[in-house]
Amino acid sequence: MAMSAQDLELREAARSWAIRVQETAFDDWDGFTSWLERDPSHLPAYEAALADEAWAVELLSSAPAVPAPEVQPRRRWWVAGSAAAAAAVAVIGGWAVLDRDAPAQQIATVPGEHRTIDLADGTRLALNGSTRVTIDPDTPRQVVLERGEARFEVRHDASDPFVVLSGGTRLVDAGTIFNVVQDGDTIEVGVAEGAVIYQPGTGEVRLAPGDTLRRSGKDAKPVLGRANPQTIGSWASGELQYDEPSLDEVARDLTRSLGRPVRTTRGAERISFTGTLMLRGTPEEVLARAEPLLGVKFTANGEGWTMSPAHGPPR
């Protein structure tokens, strides 16, 4: 069936609305309403544009990942890492917004990259570097944390609780801002606001603000701890807040945020530091600021740094 010029024009207009409406910043809703009302053929044309687009996206998502074509040189992540952390707070346009029509997708960050994702229900995820999550719009209140670290700011709905799956464990929110780290079979949960239920059912654990839970293996018993709620997930705002942390915690946080490995020799040792490390600037600048605050020394060791107590014996 040949298409008339008028028909083509209608399809073009419908696709243009579909594209514009999809953008988060779109605000011409009255214009869109008027266009839909102007002719009964407009709504089906708009629905057809959405359906065509959903069809292509579904087909493409079934493909094995192909590298995206390069248009500009890749950013250098160790520089961009800390800049991205600040940008995640400052730049609304930088947030990824997930459309509920899209098929399940995996979102991954490279070392040193921070990324914020807004889910359709208003829940916000901040991903730290080297992190991968799977989000399926068919189960909009569930996120799988495959690896890495994410901070969840959950839009609470008691009748439809938000669930995070991580390392074979279910975490159910009860009105919440919380942070989850998954590294191999180890998971760590910290609650900044509200409450989280670990493994609902018999033996469930309810975590309140400031509670932390660490489970070091699939069959290991969870170990509860306490932290200052303000420090939990603070990396997501471009800073690391500490309340007498262990060297291990600091090394892990810096590795994720700088995108290059920071190792430590005496990991379990605690540092008498309470305060904030800013992640602004190059890794060298971040570390130079951190040395006097933490009372440590960073020694370059090829790809990354070794952190040791400034007063301790050299390694």
Partner 1 sequence: MNRDEDISGLQRVILNERSRLLRFLAARGLADEAEDALHDLWQRVAAAPSQPIADPLSYLFRAAENLVRDRRRSTVSRDRRHHDWHETSVPGEEQPTGERALIARERLREVQSTLAALGPRVELVFRKCRLDGLGQVAIARELGVSLSSVEKDLQKAYRALAQLRAKFDAE
Interface with partner 1 (CB under 8 A): 11-12, 15-16, 18-27, 29-30, 32-33, 36-37, 43, 47-50, 52-53, 55-57, 59-63, 66, 68-72, 91-102, 105, 107, 117, 120, 122, 155-157
Considering the complex, state which of residue 29 and residue 221 has its C-beta at the smaller distance from partner 1.
29
**Single-letter code of the amino acid located at 219:** D
Considering the complex, state which of residue 57 and residue 278 has its C-beta at the smaller distance from partner 1.
57
- 192 alpha carbon, distance to own chain's centre: 16
Least Å distance, CB 97 to partner 1, is: 6
Q: Which residues of 65-92 are buried (b: 16+ CB within 10 A; e: fewer)?
A: eeeeeeeeeeeebeebbbbbbbbbeeee
Least Å distance, CB 278 to partner 1, is: 24
Question: 10 Å Cβ neighbour count for 30?
Answer: 8
Least Å distance, CB 43 to partner 1, is: 5
Considering the complex, state which of residue 194 and residue 222 has its C-beta at the smaller distance from partner 1.
194
Considering the complex, state which of residue 64 and residue 203 has its C-beta at the smaller distance from partner 1.
64
Q: Which of 124, 150, 142 shows the shortest CA–CA distance to 256?
A: 150
Q: Which of 173, 184, 81, 96 shows the shortest CA–CA distance to 135?
A: 96
Inter-residue contact 304 to 261 (CB < 8 Å): yes
Least Å distance, CB 4 to partner 1, is: 15
Considering the complex, state which of residue 48 and residue 144 has its C-beta at the smaller distance from partner 1.
48
Least Å distance, CB 182 to partner 1, is: 21
Strands 177-183 and 142-153: antiparallel
